[in-house]
Each structure stands twice: as C-alpha cells, then as structure tokens.
C-alpha cells in the first residue's frame, strides 16, 4: 500500500489515477457500456432523428380524379338516354301493331324483335352512363352509332317512296310504314345526334381528355 509520501508529487494513486504518458487528461478512454463513443454515432439513427429526412414510400401515384361534369355532358347524358327510351317504346309499339299473316311466325318474330330492341336500348343507356363519367371511348362509340343511324334513317326516308312506287308498278304488295314509326325513328336520330354534338363542344372537350398521373 502506497502512501502520499511514497509519491514524489504527493498525489494519491487512487483507482481513477492515470499514469503519466497514457495520453488521457483525467478522462476514461473506455466509455460506460450502453453509451455511444465520441464520433461513433450511427448515420442511420442520425438521419432518422433529423426532422427534414423524408422516408421513401411505396405507394404508386394514381390517376388524378376528374372534376365535376360540365352541364353539356349532363345534357348529352339525358339526350342519349331519352333516345334509347324512345327507341325501345317505338320498337315495342311497332312489333305489336304490325299485321303478320302467319301467326306462328309472328310470335317468333315479335320475341326476337323484342330481344334485339332491349339490347339496343341497353346500349344507349350504357353509352350515356359512361359519357357522363367522361370516358372517351364511349363518346367515340356513340359518335359512330349516331352517324350510322343518320345514314340509315335518311336512307329509309328517301328510299321508301321510290321502293313503294316501284313495287306498286310491278303489282307487288307493299308493306306500309306507319307514321308513328317514321316519326320515332327521326326523333331517335335527332336525340342521339344532339347528345353526341354536345360532347364535342369546347366546355365538354377537356372532360374527355386522358387522365394524368397525380403526384
């Protein structure tokens, strides 16, 4: 056991005493367990503690939602929907009021005609719904169908008198076309064309533009 007299400087060599030349000035070179050493901080923890650090996310950007539909699109929706309803009603009336000599074949013809009429009317409804949602493919499809309807309706209107006169001169029976059928066909054509035209007006065109990805 050493005493203060044994040391030339009169210092007590306690357990915390560092011998000269150890390179330490009273500090323990071995930090207590559980505490980080000086200059040894983890970069990942430091980045996690930084308030400006942005964590990457795995969520992929989705398409930006469309805004509210313009009034022209709403009007086009109702016009095309009305065209489908008028077509269905006129087809049912025409099928039920047409005189057919063969009663057995008439039942089959009416059934097939009703199925076809319902399918076409449903197509009007589907196109109207997706046009209101801003789907460009629905607008293009409605445009093509409206153009075909115009050609068919005008062709029937102009060719029917010519065909009727030719059949009468040849002594062949002529199937009469009711005024209701003719008027309903023209009305369906006008409603469909008006609805399609509204979708191409300037206020409605941006609503059918392709959606951009949102970030």
CA gap 73, 206 in Å, rounded:
11
For residue 141, give the 3-state DSSP assignment: helix
Which letter, b or e, does each residue of 9-19 get, where b requires 16 or more Cβ atoms within 10 Å of its Cβ? eeeeeeeeeee
Predicted confidence at residue 71, as pLDDT, reads 96
Which range, of 79-83, 95-99, 118-122, 146-150, averages the lowest pLDDT?
Answer: 95-99
Which range, of 38-52, 131-145, 185-199, averages the lowest pLDDT?
Answer: 38-52
To the question of pTM greater than 0.95 for the whole model, the response is: no
Instruction: Name the token pair of 142.
Output: 């409605």
Predicted confidence at residue 147, as pLDDT, reads 96
Q: Say yes or no to pLDDT of 69 above 80.
A: yes
């Amino acid at each position: 056991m050493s005493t203060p007299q044994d040391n030339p400087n009169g210092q007590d060599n306690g357990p915390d005493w560092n011998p000269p030349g150890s390179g330490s000035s009273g500090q323990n070179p071995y930090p207590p367990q559980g505490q980080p050493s000086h200059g040894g901080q983890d970069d990942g923890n430091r980045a996690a503690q930084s308030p400006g650090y942005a964590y990457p996310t795995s969520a992929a950007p989705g398409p930006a939602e469309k805004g509210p539909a313009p009034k022209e699109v709403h009007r086009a929706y109702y016009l095309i929907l009305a065209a489908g309803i008028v077509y269905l009603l006129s087809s049912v009336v025409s099928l039920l009021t047409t005189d057919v000599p063969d009663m057995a074949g008439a039942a089959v013809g009416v059934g097939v005609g009703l199925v076809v009429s319902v399918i076409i009317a449903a197509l009007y409804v589907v196109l109207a719904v997706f046009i209101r949602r801003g789907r460009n493919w629905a607008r293009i499809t409605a445009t093509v169908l409206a153009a075909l309807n115009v050609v068919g309706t005008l062709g029937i209107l102009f060719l029917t008198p010519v065909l009727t006169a030719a059949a009468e001169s040849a002594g062949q029976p002529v199937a009469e076309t009711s005024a209701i059928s003719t008027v309903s066909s023209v009305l369906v054509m006008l409603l469909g064309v008006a609805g399609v035209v509204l979708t191409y007006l300037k206020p409605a065109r941006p609503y059918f533009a392709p959606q951009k990805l949102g970030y």
